[in-house]
Amino acid sequence: MRYHLLGNTGLRVAELFLGAMAYGHPDGGLTETQARRILDRYADAGGNVVDTANFYGDGQSERVVGELLAGRRDRFVLSTKYTVTRDPTDPNAGSHRKNLVLSLEQSPPR
């Protein structure tokens, strides 16, 4: 696996990111066993970036990713998204600091 610097962060990221949109998805996504097998093979190949979002599978993707990364979270760069409105009735639920902080707080644990 080749790595590239991520902007000026100093982080070295794999040239291929692993997308976790189907992890834990209730409508025919991957089982946790299948997701673990894919993540393990990706990691064995040198991969170190997992892409997920708080709205993939109604939040289940981040939960599954968090469980799969338990004990090895520091070896990965976790990419997540926060721009989707969590509560359409909340006028402050869009793309701004409040939603970003909330998303980070609820993102997979270290």
Whole-angstrom distance, CA of residue 48 vs CA of residue 39: 10
Do residues 93 and 87 lie in contact, with contact meaning Cβ atoms separated by under 8 Å?
yes
Three-class DSSP category at 61: helix
For residue 68, the Cα-to-chain-centroid distance in whole angstroms is: 11
- Contacts (Cβ under 8 Å, ≥6 apart) of 105: none
42 labelled catalytic: no
**Active-site option among 3, 23, 42, 56:** 56
Q: Report d(CA 8, CA 74) in Å as an integer.
A: 19
**Which residues are part of the catalytic machinery?**
56
